Homo-oligomer: A and B are copies of this chain.
Amino acid sequence: MKKLEDLQAIISNAVDNLAFPDHPAELYEPINYILSLGGKRMRPALLLMACDLFGGDIDAALPPALAIEVFHNFTLMHDDIMDNAPLRRGQVTVHEKWNNNVGILSGDVMLVQGYKLMMQVEDHLLRPILDIFNTTAVGVCEGQQLDMDFEQRDNVGIDEYLEMIRLKTAVVLGGALKIGALIGGADVKDADLLSSFGEHLGIAFQLQDDILDVYGDPEKFGKQVGGDIISNKKTYLLIKALELAGNQHKTALDKWIALKQFDNAEKVAAVTAIYNSLNIRQYAEEAMQKHTDKAFEALDAINLPAAQKQYLHDFADGLLVREN
Contact = CB atoms under 8 A, between A and B. Distances in A.
A142 B141 CA distance: 24
Contacts of A24: 142, 145-146, 149
A105 B141 contact: yes
Interface residues of A, number: 34
B119 A127 contact: yes
A24 B145 CA distance: 7
Contacts of A100: 81, 100
A100 B99 CA distance: 14
Contact of A101 (B112, B138, B146, B148): B148
A48 interface: no
Nearest to A109: B141
Nearest to A24: B145
Contacts of A113: 138
Contacts of A116: 134
Contact of A142 (B27, B130, B134, B145): B27
Nearest to A164: B24
Contacts of A59: none
Nearest to A138: B112
Given A24-B146, A126-B127, A127-B123, A81 B109 contact: no
Contact of A141 (B112, B131, B137, B145): B112
6 smallest beta-carbon distances between A and B, as pairs: A109-B141, A27-B145, A24-B145, A82-B101, A112-B137, A116-B134
5 contacts: A81-B100, A115-B130, A115-B134, A119-B131, A126-B126
Interface of A: 24, 26-27, 78, 81-82, 100-101, 104-105, 107-109, 111-113, 115-116, 119, 123, 126-127, 130-131, 134, 137-138, 141-142, 144-146, 148-149
